[in-house]
Amino acid sequence: MNDIPLSYFLIVSALLFSVGLSIMLLKRNMIFILMGIELMLNAANLNLIAFSRQDDQMQGLAFSVFVLVIGVCEMTIALAIILQIYRQFKHIDLGAEKSRF
């Protein structure tokens, strides 16, 4: 048939997850780190949707809707906290004092 094999989706989502992890470890700006976390959440979502393709109950699809909602909530709260941190410290650079590596 013309369908895409499941392993292609899994490889793309493994790549997205590891790139998100590397962004989280590499960057020092807080907004950058949030973008990395969003990338990792979306990698998990792609896995759920790719597996629920073969499920006639579609449990993975219903779960990915809730993952989307939780991701949006986390994003709003984290941006509000970052705004308050900027007002307090005048920068949002993590580890501005001393770099360990």
Q: What is the nearest approach in angstroms of other proteins to the Cβ of residue 94?
A: 9
Q: How far is the CB of 91 from other proteins (least distance, A)?
A: 8
Tell me: does residue 10 bind other proteins (CB under 8 A).
yes
How many whole angstroms separate alpha carbon 31 and alpha carbon 75? 10
Q: How far is the CB of 26 from other proteins (least distance, A)?
A: 4
Task: Tell me the CB-side half-sphere exposure of residue 82, using CA atoms within 13 A.
Answer: 15
89 binds other proteins (CB under 8 A): no
Least gap, CB of 98 to other proteins (angstroms) = 11
77 touches other proteins (CB under 8 A): yes
Residues 6+ apart with CB under 8 A from 38: 20, 71, 75
Residues within window 31-70 making contact with other proteins, judged by CB under 8 A: 31-32, 34-36, 38-39, 42, 45-46, 49-56, 58, 61-62, 64-66, 68-70
Query: What's the rounded Cα separation, in Å, for the pair 1 and 26?
Result: 42
> b or e along 30-40 (b: 16 or more beta carbons within 10 Å of the residue's beta carbon)?
beebbebbbbb
